[in-house]
Copies of this chain bind each other. A is one copy, B any other.
């Protein structure tokens, strides 16, 4: 019997480096899959359908909501973003672990639905370090940075709701910590319920 994979939810404030950590982490990980969100937003330059997002129409997205086919979804700035349930479920059933990168609200929704999932909060070393990163991107206005820093403070204050905190000092370290968390999650008793019976009965 294939052992079900582990669902790992990774959150953290905008600019903390979630994408960078996962981009470094994923290559070569044959037993871990990164979920691709669906969105109704127009692709930005360089964004590839099915790689960065599944780009869908508003009609398609709202149909999926109506049929309860979204594990979580939210609307930001007039566009929907969400995680299709079926792909996540099929991938876990095939024995592979699934990483979802979602924001605080989405993470809390998933926590309520799937208590066996593992919740990881990627934390900046300090608010100053986060602000420096946002400024360093060079793509944000001062007003936008202020707004993101306020949101970051709020998200960090909710980090206690996650199972694990990974302080993103370096990408390499964060990848190693993420790996440890995923490997440990697969060893949890709650994830290996069948073993007790197997050992007892296959004397």
Interface residues, chain A, CB within 8 Å of chain B? 121, 123-128, 153, 156-157, 159-160, 162-167, 177, 180-181, 183-185, 187-189, 192-193, 195-196, 199-200, 202-203
Contact, CB under 8 Å: A195 / B181: no
| Chain B residues positioned under 8 Å from A162 (CB to CB) | 189
Residues of B within 8 A of A157 (CB): 196, 200
A-B contacts, 23 listed (Cβ < 8 Å): A121-B189, A123-B199, A157-B196, A159-B195, A160-B196, A162-B189, A163-B189, A164-B184, A164-B187, A164-B188, A165-B192, A165-B195, A165-B196, A166-B187, A167-B195, A177-B187, A180-B180, A180-B183, A180-B184, A180-B187, A183-B184, A184-B184, A184-B185
* Chain B: CB-nearest residue to A177: B187
CB distance from A137 to the nearest CB of B (A): 19
Q: Which residues of chain B are within 8 angstroms of A160 by Cβ–Cβ distance? A: 189, 193, 196
Query: Roughly how many angstroms separate A196 CA and B123 CA in the complex, as a whole number?
Result: 9
Residue of B nearest to A161 (CB): B189
The interface residues of chain B lying within 8 Å CB-to-CB of A164 are 184, 187-189
Give the distance to chain B from A191, nearest Cβ to Cβ, in Å: 9
Q: By the criterion CB–CB under 8 Å, are A125 and B199 in contact? A: yes
Give, as a whole number of angstroms, the nearest-CB distance from A32 to chain B. Answer: 15
Which residues of B are found within 8 Å of A159, using beta-carbon distances? 189, 195-196
Minimum CB distance partner of A119 in chain B? B189
Complex Cα distance, B121 from A187, in Å, reads 10
Q: Contact check, B126 vs A203: say whether CB atoms are below 8 A apart.
A: yes
* Residues B163 and A188 in contact, CB atoms below 8 Å apart: yes
Minimal beta-carbon separation of A41 from chain B (angstroms):
30
Cα–Cα distance between A180 and B182 once the two chains are bound (Å): 9
Cα–Cα distance between A192 and B157 once the two chains are bound (Å):
13
Q: In whole angstroms, how far apart are the Cα atoms of A67 and B146 in the complex?
A: 57
Q: Which residues of B contact A187 (CB under 8 A)?
A: 164-166, 177, 180-181
